[in-house]
């Protein structure tokens, strides 16, 4: 508590500073630390799926290789670039709000959110394709039937496991994209309202951190699921 | 707060502002690595495939974390807990893999899906859909280990 | 420095210098349900977790009653299966995991840290409501057919059970988030909001324990979340990751489940140990022996606890290699637990011991946890566990650690901080009687279960062979003694609320920061002025016994 | 030998396990008495007395290091004894006799090398026996306390277990992995090996998935093996049972009665009363006449066609029931007009 005793007359207690914090720095650090701890929990949550994926892949590599050919690596790559780019714009949004450039922040945030929608759009195309081909998880998997043959070939029925994991992983990730986009939407709203300044840009920073996490998960998901069968 | 008060004593937020072009350069590097990983997947490195993919992904993740997420200019503790989360995940993965990989080593009829000697599949397991008979014939030899 | 002006606040603005229970600190129902104050939230947790304990206890009594005689006694087999599942699930997820951190931690932690609130008060309220929503889902599951899977939800039984598994699983999933957010909040609070002068080596052991617990909550609970999500997806969409009929591996489910649930047993016990440390210090008037070792052993338990989950799977068909590895690693957890037990015992040596009810509970904790922990070793040793696994020996083991350990510490902690929380004293004489019933009742119920288990009585049995009847009878009678004990205890608390004498600020003469620096009950912002810490939490040697009650010579105030 | 804490020692493992158990037991008693004894003594000796202050806590680094490090030695030893015992339990001798165990809700089926089946486990004494186990629905676990052995049976996997009995006699075999219960009560026969003290109807489930292990001399065991290939003796006539009677015995011993009634009431499965020769409607819209072939099919592959109004929960008895047993069941169902 560096300036422990200056917390009384509300005069030098800025509006954005909650009553139980002494300094803006303390509040900023706490928020950021909190977000990092939260990121840790997200990593472990997604991690569970990655563990399941790697274990089943290790058990039946050839089935997984055959199954992963049914994903469209081009769409996957496109989505990778979209997310990487949105990560850049999110970082730039933080930068511009640090510099107090409100309009620029608005622009970067809007681009980031737009990227989220592009990503979900591409996902939609991919998903509807999979549904159509009977590439559904577990019990609903039908791509081993002759009517779903692809270039005259059908998948082994065991490939159901690959798609179970594919849908769980990308589905949960997609959900995070939506949550992240909504969080950024809220940040955007507060930015438009003029809440932020070079002294106070915590929500932008926190929102962007979360968005980078969404990107991080995809960075692992893309090569493991789309590229290495 | 005792652990941060030494850094600055004016209590204001002091965050590092990264140069614009630097950020764009990082993005460029990420795109290049994406191209590399796609290109690498065209070649078969055998069992190293997954490892290579994970290594490239880790390089990308490191770039995002260090520069976009400002870990480089942040408290060391944040980097520590970030890395620790991967360590704990590693423990989970490795010991679980250890189990799955070593089943049936001591007794080859134990915890395996197929009875070696009788060639009978364990009941209650994977049921082949009768409609997919043709599919089964097409299956590559390696993948059928558990059928 | 008491220059705060109440008038500076608007009408609805709570008065930061009014006692937190008073109307000025927040009016009516809204002042409670929408409060951001950690003390009020702590109290709301206290009430909810006690309700959960009561509910879990009722199911326990039903289970015991059914087992009083062989064959059908009061219910059918299907309902018995629901009863023990709900007993286990409620006790674990609704009661014991949120109990100490949620209720006592929320109340005491910020005060001990010399701060006004936790780092994220809004998040704190949110975790409480997430808890409520999760509990509601679980209750919904109970009324719509309930669950009969056991608290462990093993597949493929849980994927095929006809009962209302999905809503229970979602309930527990949601409760998990509550637990994660509380842990996150505490970690940040401990790091960022300590009062000036309160460096790590001066942290009370309660804080160390809660901090270690929070680390486990944050690292382990997400894996439970994904496990339960997969289970729900399994039931609703048939994804098949854990379903052998679709090529999945049920043993993998057990890995996933125990990767959370073993660390979770330390989420349950470490806060209990944390409370016990405070009680031992206060009622021996002495610093805990080996403070540093006790603090580090909490972290040690948190970390080593992540390496041993497979000891629940020795007979599951897990590979022999993994089995041996897990057995070896499990041995290691005895070390930090042992360090704690030895240090508490050493603290008693040359203390000035007062046998108040909280101290009696702390001593019960010591005795019962030692029994529970030592019997854990029978489970950790491979060839004995093969025999004991899934028998009543295991049931007795975990009741000794959970009920004999955590619940004893929790009740001790409630009584100890009761004057701080409510500003009222309770009836010590009656409380001691209730303790006696609880202690004797507990041992009657569970000691005999060790014998029954090692003789071969399997757990989760609705009916049993005649040779086990006598053990079950004794055990059931014990559960009635427990009921009497807890009923008296509930009466003690209710009586204190209604007509207890007003408590002085520090009725126990404790040197703890929370007793020295605040009123009982504390004001809304805890301290009239920000404290500066100049001494350790257990520095009894710095003052005379008389001074203890009125405040240290070089008090927190200066 | 049976002790206070443990069941009789009827297998070669038992002595080793019990030794480990009692070693930890006395170690624990010793530690408990020392630690808690000391604590209680301190509580008495240093009770609060007016004018006596607690002595400030000092340091005793050597003591602290001792009690942190020395338990390691004990723990290493504990691991060692458990490990040795476990290795013995994991590796069956090469000459072990193999018995196939099939678990299902809520009964055990044991298949002997000669192809015969029983639902009580018969084993010869002083001969290593290896069980190769499987389950077709949920996880169960086979537990024989007197042998100190236990192993889960996991659907989709095989698991193994071995032991060598050292004494003839009869002892209990339990299911120790929770596996649910049937709705309501079920009719049982007096000869049922399971527990039941509620007359001829009782609850069945995980807790009733109990049977016996009968340890016999080699000669007795061989006689038993002979007998399971023939119809059993009819208690009423004392001679070999007729097919109809055998079918009735199987109806109970194979636990068909947990799901099928013979009195016309529907339980988990359709009643058998009046089944034979009736027209059956299936959930897929098709229909068939319940003749002998149909019934055989319904027993071997029950879920190929599911009768309307029911769920396909009946387990397949292929591999469990032999042809002449199925014939006997058909003969029995024929009598239920
Ligand atoms: C609060 C909860 C809690 C705690 C603290 C513990 C503590 C321990 N538990 Fe327990 N356990 C449970 C809750 C808990 N357990 C539950 C709920 C289950 C069953 C779940 C289910 O199936 O439903 C279970 C089951 C369980 C099993 C699985 C049994 C089975 O199903 O087959 C095992 C196996 O290793 C085990 C071991 C241990 C060990 C080694 C410890 C150790 O941490 C104990 C360490 C403590 C001591 C050893 C005593 C003090 C130390 C000394 C006095 C030092 C000197 C001692 C020596 C050198 C020996 N436990
Ligand atoms: C925190 C954990 C906890 C606690 C405290 C308890 C407490 C008790 N438990 Fe247990 N129990 C479990 C966790 C716990 N349990 C778990 C996880 C399982 C495994 C489930 C499974 O297999 O899936 C289990 C299983 C279990 C079984 C085994 C069932 C079986 O395998 O078939 C039995 C049987 O005796 C039992 C009994 C009891 C009894 C008699 C108590 C008693 O101590 C209860 C005493 C409490 C009361 C008597 C309540 C009365 C309270 C009041 C009157 C106060 C009033 C309060 C207010 C007014 C606010 N429990
Ligand atoms: Cu079968 Cu329990
Ligand atoms: Cu455990």
| pLDDT tens digits, one per residue of C180-194 | 999 999 999 999 999
Rounded distance from Cα D140 to ligand 4 centre (Å): 21
**C8 pLDDT higher than 90:** no
Q: Which atom of ligand 1 is nearest to the CA of C268?
A: 1
Averaged over D283-296, what is the pLDDT? 89
Answer whether residue A14 is part of any domain.
Answer: no
Q: Which residue has the higher pLDDT, D150 or C525?
A: D150
**D196 pLDDT higher than 60:** no
Assess contact for C289 and C346: CB atoms under 8 A.
yes
Mean pLDDT of chain B: 77
Q: Which residues of C373-395 are buried (b: 16+ CB within 10 A; e: fewer)?
A: bbbbbbbbbbbbbbbbbbbbbbb
Question: Considering only CB atoms, which chain A residues are within 8 Å of B88?
Answer: 44
- The per-residue pLDDT for C144 is 86
Q: Which atom of ligand 3 is nearest to the CA of D207?
A: 2
Nearest CA to ligand 2 atom 12: C88
The SS3 of residue A149 is coil
Averaged over D104-118, what is the pLDDT? 85
Give residue A126's domain range: 37-134+166-228
CB contact under 8 A, B124 and D160: no
Answer whether residue A129 is part of any domain.
Answer: yes
Band of residue A13 on the pLDDT scale cut at 50, 70, 90: low
Residue positions counted in chain B: 147
Condensed to tens digits (0 to 9), the pLDDT of residues A121-135 reads: 999 998 888 888 778
Give the minimum alpha-carbon distance from D37 to chain B in angstroms, rounded to a whole number. Answer: 40
Q: How many CB pairs under 8 A join B and C?
A: 74
Close Cβ partners of D150 (under 8 Å, ≥ 6 residues apart): C315, C386, C387, C389, C390, D141, D142, D143, D144, D161, D176
Question: Considering only CB atoms, which chain B residues are within 8 Å of C317?
Answer: 103, 110-111
Averaged over D259-278, what is the pLDDT? 88
The domain that holds A186 is classified in CATH as: 1.20.120.80
Ordered DSSP codes for D78-108: HHHHHHHHHHHHHS--TTPEEEEEEEETTEE
Question: Considering only CB atoms, which chain B residues are within 8 Å of D157?
Answer: 111-113, 122, 125
- The per-residue pLDDT for C267 is 95
Q: Which sign, positive or negative, has the C-alpha torsion D131, D135, D141, D145?
A: negative
Q: How far apart are CA D287 and CA B63, in angstroms?
A: 66
R_g of chain C computed on alpha carbons: 23
What value of ipTM does the predicted structure carry? 0.88
**Which residue ranges have their beta carbon within 6 Å of ligand 2?**
C 50-51, 54, 57, 60-61, 63-64, 84-85, 87-88, 91-92, 95-96, 150-151, 395, 399, 402-403, 407, 445, 459-461, 475, 479, 482-483, 486-487, 490
Close Cβ partners of D227 (under 8 Å, ≥ 6 residues apart): none
Assess contact for D142 and D110: CB atoms under 8 A.
no
The SS3 of residue D183 is strand
Report pTM.
Answer: 0.88
**C25 pLDDT higher than 90:** no
**Which residue ranges have their beta carbon within 6 Å of ligand 1?**
C 152, 265, 268-269, 311-312, 330, 333-334, 337-338, 341, 370, 373-374, 376-377, 379-380, 385, 389-390, 394, 397-398, 401-402, 405-406; D 31, 35, 71, 74-75
Band of residue C1 on the pLDDT scale cut at 50, 70, 90: very low
Among the residue ranges A133-142, C505-514, D90-99, D159-168, the one predicted with the least confidence is: A133-142
The per-type count for chain C, helices as H runs and strands as E runs, is: 21, 0
Beta-strand runs (E) in chain B: 114-115, 120-121
Averaged over D221-232, what is the pLDDT? 83
**D197 pLDDT higher than 80:** no
Kindly report the CA angle at C253 between C247 and C256, in degrees rounded to 5? 135
CB contact under 8 A, B96 and C199: no
Query: Which residue in A has a C-alpha nearest to residue B112's C-alpha?
Result: A59
CB contact under 8 A, A138 and C239: yes
Question: Considering only CB atoms, which chain C residues are within 8 Å of B99?
Answer: 251, 255, 310, 318-319, 321-322
Ordered DSSP codes for D202-214: EEEEGGG--EEEE
Condensed to tens digits (0 to 9), the pLDDT of residues A60-91 reads: 888 888 888 888 888 999 999 999 999 999 99
* Neighbouring C-alpha atoms within 13 Å toward the C-beta of D278: 15
- The per-residue pLDDT for D304 is 84
- The per-residue pLDDT for C48 is 96
Question: Considering only CB atoms, which chain C residues are within 8 Å of A48?
Answer: 222-223, 226-227, 230, 256
Q: Please tell me if the CB atom of residue D331 comes closer than 6 angstroms to any atom of ligand 3.
A: no
Band of residue D192 on the pLDDT scale cut at 50, 70, 90: low
Among the residue ranges A111-115, D157-161, D265-269, the one predicted with the least confidence is: D265-269
R_g of chain A computed on alpha carbons: 22
Our answer on whether D and A touch (3+ beta-carbon pairs < 8 Å) is: no
Q: Map out the domains of chain B as residue ranges.
A: 103-147
Percent of chain D past pLDDT 90, that is, above it, reads 46
Name the fold adopted by C38-557: Cytochrome C Oxidase; Chain A (1.20.210)
**D228 pLDDT higher than 50:** yes
Close Cβ partners of D31 (under 8 Å, ≥ 6 residues apart): C370, C374
- The per-residue pLDDT for B137 is 40
CB contact under 8 A, C541 and D56: yes
CB contact under 8 A, C390 and D177: yes
Question: Considering only CB atoms, which chain B residues are within 8 Å of C307?
Answer: 91, 95
Band of residue D189 on the pLDDT scale cut at 50, 70, 90: low
Averaged over A210-217, what is the pLDDT? 94
Q: How far apart are CA C141 and CA C153, in angstroms?
A: 14
In 10 A of CB C146, how many CB atoms? 20
Structurally, how many domains does chain A consist of?
1
The SS3 of residue D198 is strand
Answer whether residue A26 is part of any domain.
Answer: no
Measured between CB atoms, does D258 come within 8 Å of chain C? no
Averaged over C422-442, what is the pLDDT? 95
**C555 pLDDT higher than 60:** no
Averaged over D22-51, what is the pLDDT? 94
Q: Which atom of ligand 3 is nearest to the CA of C460?
A: 2
Among the residue ranges A195-199, C470-474, C496-500, D237-241, the one predicted with the least confidence is: D237-241
**C275 pLDDT higher than 60:** yes
Question: Considering only CB atoms, which chain B residues are within 8 Å of A85?
Answer: 27
Mean pLDDT of chain D: 87
What tokens does D158 get?
Answer: 């095989």
Q: How far apart are CA C362 and CA C351, in angstroms?
A: 15
CB contact under 8 A, A146 and B82: no
Q: How far apart are CA C347 and CA C539, in angstroms?
A: 14
- Preceding omega of C521 cis (within 30 degrees of 0): yes
Q: Which atom of ligand 1 is nearest to the CA of C327?
A: 35
Averaged over D48-73, what is the pLDDT? 87
**B75 pLDDT higher than 90:** no
Averaged over D253-280, what is the pLDDT? 86
Condensed to tens digits (0 to 9), the pLDDT of residues C149-162 reads: 999 999 889 998 88
Q: How far apart are CA C55 and CA C71, in angstroms?
A: 25
**C7 pLDDT higher than 70:** no
Query: Which residue in B has a C-alpha nearest to residue D160's C-alpha?
Result: B110
Answer whether residue A142 is part of any domain.
Answer: no
- The per-residue pLDDT for D250 is 85
**A179 pLDDT higher than 90:** yes
Condensed to tens digits (0 to 9), the pLDDT of residues D136-152 reads: 899 999 999 999 999 99
Q: How far apart are CA D127 and CA D97, in angstroms?
A: 8
Kindly report the CA angle at C365 between C360 and C369, in degrees rounded to 5? 155
Give the minimum alpha-carbon distance from A118 to chain C in angstroms, rounded to a whole number. Answer: 27
Rounded to 5 degrees, φ, ψ at B119 are 65, 25
Averaged over A144-153, what is the pLDDT? 72
Nearest CA to ligand 2 atom 5: C403
Test site for ligand 2: of C59, C69, C88, C89, most ligand atoms within 8 A of the Cβ: C88
- The per-residue pLDDT for D131 is 94
- Residues 144-203 of chain C with CB under 8 A from chain A are 180, 184-185, 187-188, 191-193, 195-196
Percent of chain C past pLDDT 70, that is, above it, reads 96
- The per-residue pLDDT for D2 is 64
Mean pLDDT of chain C: 91
Nearest CA to ligand 1 atom 8: C376
Kindly report the CA angle at C507 between C100 and C409, in degrees rounded to 5? 25
Q: Which helix (H) or strand (E) holds D141?
A: strand D140-144
């Amino acid at each position: 508590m560096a300036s422990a005793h200056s917390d009384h007359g509300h005069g030098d207690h800025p509006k954005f500073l909650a009553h139980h914090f002494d300094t803006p720095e303390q509040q900023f650090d706490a928020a950021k630390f909190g977000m990092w701890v939260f990121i840790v929990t997200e990593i472990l949550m997604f991690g569970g799926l990655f563990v399941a994926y790697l274990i089943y892949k290790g058990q039946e590599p050839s089935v997984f290789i055959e199954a992963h050919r049914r994903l469209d690596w081009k769409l996957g790559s496109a989505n990778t670039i979209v997310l990487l780019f949105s990560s850049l714009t999110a970082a730039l949004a933080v930068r511009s709000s640090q510099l107090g450039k409100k309009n620029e922040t608005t622009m970067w945030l809007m681009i980031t959110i737009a990227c989220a929608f592009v990503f979900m759009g591409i996902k939609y195309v991919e998903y509807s394709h999979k549904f159509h081909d009977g590439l559904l998880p577990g019990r609903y998997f039908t791509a081993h039937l002759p009517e779903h043959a692809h270039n005259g070939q059908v998948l082994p029925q065991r490939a159901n496991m690959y798609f179970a994991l594919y849908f769980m992983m990308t589905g949960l990730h997609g959900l995070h994209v939506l949550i992240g986009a909504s969080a950024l939407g809220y940040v955007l709203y507060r930015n438009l309202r003029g809440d932020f300044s070079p002294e106070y840009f915590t929500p932008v920073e926190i929102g962007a951190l979360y968005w980078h996490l969404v990107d991080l998960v995809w960075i692992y998901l893309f090569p493991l699921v789309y590229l290495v069968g | 707060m005792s652990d941060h008060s030494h850094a600055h004593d004016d209590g204001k937020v002091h965050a590092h502002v990264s140069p614009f072009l630097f950020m764009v350069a990082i993005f460029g590097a990420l795109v290049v690595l994406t191209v590399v990983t796609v290109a690498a997947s065209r070649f078969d490195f055998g069992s190293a495939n997954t490892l290579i993919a994970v290594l490239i992904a880790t390089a990308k993740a490191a770039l995002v974390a260090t520069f976009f997420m400002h870990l480089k200019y942040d408290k060391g503790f944040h980097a520590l807990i970030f890395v620790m989360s991967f360590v704990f995940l590693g423990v989970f993965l490795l010991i679980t893999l250890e189990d799955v990989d070593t089943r049936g080593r001591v007794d080859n009829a134990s915890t395996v899906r197929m009875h070696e000697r009788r060639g009978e599949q364990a009941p209650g397991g994977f049921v082949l859909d009768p409609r997919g008979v043709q599919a089964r014939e097409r299956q590559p030899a390696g993948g059928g280990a558990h059928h | 420095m008491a220059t705060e002006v109440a008038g500076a606040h608007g009408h609805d603005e709570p008065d930061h210098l009014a006692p937190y229970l008073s109307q000025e600190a927040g009016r009516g129902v809204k002042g409670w349900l929408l409060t951001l104050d950690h003390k009020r939230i702590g109290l709301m947790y206290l009430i909810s977790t006690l309700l959960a304990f009561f509910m879990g206890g009722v199911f326990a009594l039903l289970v015991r009653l059914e087992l009083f005689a062989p064959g059908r006694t009061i219910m059918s087999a299907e309902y018995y299966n629901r009863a023990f599942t709900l007993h286990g699930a409620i006790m674990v997820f609704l009661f014991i995991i949120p109990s100490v951190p949620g209720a006592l931690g929320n109340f005491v932690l910020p005060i001990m840290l010399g701060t006004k609130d936790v780092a994220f008060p809004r998040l704190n309220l949110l975790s409480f409501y997430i808890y409520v929503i999760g509990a509601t889902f679980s209750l919904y599951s109970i009324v719509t057919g309930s669950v009969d899977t056991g608290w462990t939800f093993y597949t493929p039984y849980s994927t095929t059970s006809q009962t209302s598994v999905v809503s229970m699983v979602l309930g527990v999933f949601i409760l998990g988030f509550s637990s994660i957010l509380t842990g996150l909040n505490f970690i940040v609070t401990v790091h960022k909001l300590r009062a000036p002068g309160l460096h790590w080596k001066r942290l009370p052991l309660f804080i160390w324990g809660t901090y270690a617990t929070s680390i486990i909550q944050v690292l382990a609970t997400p894996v439970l979340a994904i496990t339960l999500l997969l289970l729900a997806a399994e039931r609703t969409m048939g994804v098949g990751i854990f379903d052998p009929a679709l090529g999945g591996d049920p043993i993998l489910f057990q890995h996933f489940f125990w990767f959370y649930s073993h660390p979770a047993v330390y989420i349950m016990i470490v806060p209990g140990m944390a409370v016990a440390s405070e009680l031992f210090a206060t009622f021996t008037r002495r610093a805990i022996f080996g403070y540093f070792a006790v603090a580090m052993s909490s972290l040690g338990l948190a970390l080593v606890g992540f390496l041993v989950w497979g000891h629940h799977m020795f007979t599951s068909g897990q590979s022999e290699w993994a089995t041996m590895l897990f057995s070896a690693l499990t041995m290691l957890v005895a070390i930090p637990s042992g360090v704690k037990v030895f240090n508490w015992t050493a603290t008693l040596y040359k203390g000035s011991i007062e046998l108040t009810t909280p101290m009696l509970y702390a001593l019960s904790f010591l005795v019962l946890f030692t029994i529970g922990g030592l019997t854990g070793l029978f489970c950790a040793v491979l060839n004995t566990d093969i025999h004991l696994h899934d028998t009543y020996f295991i049931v007795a083991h975990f009741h000794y650690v959970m009920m004999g350990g955590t619940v004893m510490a929790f009740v001790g902690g409630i009584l100890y901080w009761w004057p701080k929380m409510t500003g009222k004293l309770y009836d010590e004489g009656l409380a001691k009687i209730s303790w006696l019933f609880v202690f004797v009742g507990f041992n009657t119920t569970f000691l005999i279960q060790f014998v029954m288990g090692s003789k071969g009585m399997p757990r989760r049995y609705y009916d049993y062979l005649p040779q086990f009847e006598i053990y079950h009878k004794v055990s059931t009678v014990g559960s009635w003694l427990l009921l009497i004990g807890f009923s008296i205890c509930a009466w003690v608390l209710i009586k204190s609320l209604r007509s207890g004498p007003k408590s002085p600020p520090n009725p126990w003469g404790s040197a703890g920061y929370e007793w020295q620096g605040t009123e009982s009950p504390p004001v809304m912002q805890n301290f009239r002025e920000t404290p500066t810490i100049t001494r350790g939490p257990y520095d009894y040697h710095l003052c005379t016994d008389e001074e203890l009650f009125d405040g240290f010579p070089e008090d927190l105030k200066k | 030998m049976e002790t206070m804490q443990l069941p009789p020692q009827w297998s070669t493992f038992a002595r080793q396990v019990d030794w480990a158990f009692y070693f930890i037991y006395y170690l624990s008693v010793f530690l408990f008495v020392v630690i808690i004894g000391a604590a209680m003594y301190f509580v008495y000796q240093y009770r609060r007395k007016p004018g006596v202050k607690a002595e400030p806590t000092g340091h005793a680094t050597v003591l602290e290091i001792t009690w942190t490090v020395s338990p390691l030695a004990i723990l290493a030893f504990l691991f060692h004894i458990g490990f040795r015992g476990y290795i013995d339990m994991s590796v069956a001798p090469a000459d072990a006799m193999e018995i196939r165990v099939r678990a299902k809700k809520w009964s055990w089926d044991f298949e002997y090398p000669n192809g015969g089946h029983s639902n009580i486990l018969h084993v010869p004494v002083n001969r290593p026996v290896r069980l190769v186990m499987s389950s077709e629905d949920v996880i169960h676990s086979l537990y024989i306390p007197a042998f100190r052995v236990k192993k889960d049976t996991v659907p989709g996997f095989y698991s193994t277990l071995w032991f060598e009995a050292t004494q003839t006699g009869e002892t209990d075999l339990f299911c120790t992995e929770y596996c649910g219960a049937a709705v309501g009560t079920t009719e049982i026969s007096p000869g049922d090996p399971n527990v039941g003290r509620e007359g001829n109807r009782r609850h069945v489930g995980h807790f009733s998935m109990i049977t016996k292990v009968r340890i016999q001399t080699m000669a007795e065991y061989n006689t038993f093996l002979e007998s399971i290939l023939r119809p059993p003796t009819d208690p009423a006539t004392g001679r070999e049972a007729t097919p109809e009677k055998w079918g009735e015995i199987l109806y109970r011993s194979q636990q068909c009665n947990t799901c099928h009634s013979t009195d016309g009431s529907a339980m988990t499965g359709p009643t058998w009363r009046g089944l034979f020769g009736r027209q059956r409607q299936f959930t897929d819209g098709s229909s068939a006449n319940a003749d002998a072939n149909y019934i055989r099919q319904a027993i071997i592959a029950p879920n190929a066609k599911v009768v309307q109004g029911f769920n396909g929960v009946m387990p397949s008895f292929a591999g469990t029931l032999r042809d002449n047993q199925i014939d006997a069941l058909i003969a029995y169902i024929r009598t239920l007009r």
